[in-house]
Every structure is written in C-alpha cells, then in structure tokens.
Structure 1
Amino acid sequence: MPVREGESKWTAAEVREVRAELEGDIAHLRDELEHAQSDLVDLMRDSGDGAGDDQADAGAKTYEREQEISLANNAREMLEQTEHALARLDDGTYGTCESCGNPIGKLRLQAAPRATLCMPCKTKEERR
C-alpha cells in the first residue's frame, strides 16, 4: 500500500489490524442497522393507530420516527463506506486518494480507516 513521503511502509501486522477494524465495524454497523430498521418498523406500526392523539403526541411520534430514519440512514451510509474501504483493501487500491491518486497517508488511514481522500483533497471537498 502506498505511503506518503517520510512515512514507514505498512507492515503485515498493521494491514491485519486495519482489516480487523473494518470487519469489526461492518459487523457492528450491520447490527446497528438491523436494530434501527426493527425500531422503525415498530414505530410505523404504532403510528397507524393514532386516533385520539393530540397534536403534541402526533408531533412526538413523527419526531421519533424521523430520528429512527436518520439513524438507519447514517448506519447504512457508514456501512457502505466501510465495505468500500474493505473492497479497496482487497483490490489493492486502499491508501490511494480517489481524487488525485496520491497516497492518503498511513497516519490518516490509521485514524480514519474509511478515508478515500488525502487531506488536501478532503479539504477542497469540504470547502465546496
């Protein structure tokens, strides 16, 4: 895997550690997503019998449902990013910036294993 100038090469143990972290994250995120979807199904089922609810009750149910939708969407997005990182590790492109093709940086990847952009490209993206 590529490294930035001045960084040491990836050791087999470091690569195994990154892989294990990504695989652990995938398992955790799948559980989280399953739980969020189950909670959402329960909320949707319960929201149908709102006869007699006042506006505050209806609003609270809507807010809770939207929170669960947001949590499920966030977990789904994180899962996709993590699976993408693992696929990049498998196909040999992990550690290469998807925008400019330069090395992302070993320290950045150890801190944020899902990173697909080097810091200069990430900074540019965030400014847009």
Structure 2
Amino acid sequence: MLVNSAVITGKGADTARSRSIEDVEQLRALLQTRFNDLNLEYEEAVAENQRLRLVEIGDAAGDDQADSGSKTAERDAASSLLRTLLDRRTQAEVALQRLDDGTYGNCEGCSNPIPVERLEVFPSATTCVHCKTNRERRAG
C-alpha cells in the first residue's frame, strides 16, 4: 500500500511528503469501497433488527422468564451490532474526509506518518501506535 510515501497537498501537506494523484485515488477507492460495504452491512442489520422486533411483538404471548431473557439477549446483541457497524462506517467516512483534507495517513497526535502496516490492517486509523498507546495508558 502507498500510504506512507506521503500526503496530498492541503491542510496537512507540510507534515509529510507529497503523494501522487494515482495514490490518492487508489486510497479513495479503497476507503469508499470499505464505506459502501459497511453501509450495506448496516442497512441489512437494521432491516434484520426490525424483522426481529416484529416477530417479537407478535410472538410474546405466553413467554416465560427464559423466553423473555432470550429475546432480551437477542435484542441487546442486535443493538450492539448496529452500534458497532455505525461506528465503523463513521470511521471510514472520517478517513475519506481526512483524505480530502490532505491529512489521511498522518497521526492526529504527532502528525508523523502512520506506518503502512498499521493502515493496511486498520485503514481508518487516525493515530500511530505510539500515540494510541499513550492515549490508552492515560484512559486506563
């Protein structure tokens, strides 16, 4: 991947080397595909969640504690999945915005380039490993 070879011109251009238009468009395509996939997955999960709620509403008569608890667990799992997908979709959207701003691939903490290996694993990364570790240490 081409991320550490630089950054496009823009707000963050002074913190890194320049990236070619081809590189930027390749990154944009990658991030847009990720966003589209997450958006589709989110929409499917919303539809499934609505279907489960309709089934639950029509099938609640005669439920004992175990049935009720099972339905609550299913509802909680579905809600958790929706929150996770929405968060991941938002991260991809922010990454696309950072690409437009010329700051994608640079750490929000120290402005240094984020290693290619990190961005390959986590394209929505906004911090280098060092800054991420420091944040986690302070939070925990």
> In the alignment, does 2:52 pair up with 1:35?
no
* Structure 1 portions without partners, runs of 5+: 3-7
Q: How does 1:56-71 map to 2 (within 5 A)?
A: 56-71=66-81
Percent of pairs with identical residues:
42
- CA RMSD of superposed structures (Å): 2.1
CA contact (8 A) 1:18 1:110 kept: no
C-alpha distance in 2 between matches for 1:81 and 1:22? 10
- Provide the residue aligned with 1:99 in structure 2: 109
Tell me which amino acid in the other structure corresponds to 1:66: D
Alignment coverage as a number of residue pairs: 123
1:48 to partner: Cα distance: 2.4
> In the alignment, does 2:89 pair up with 1:79?
yes
1:111 to partner: Cα distance: 2.9
- Provide TM-score, normalisation by structure 1: 0.83
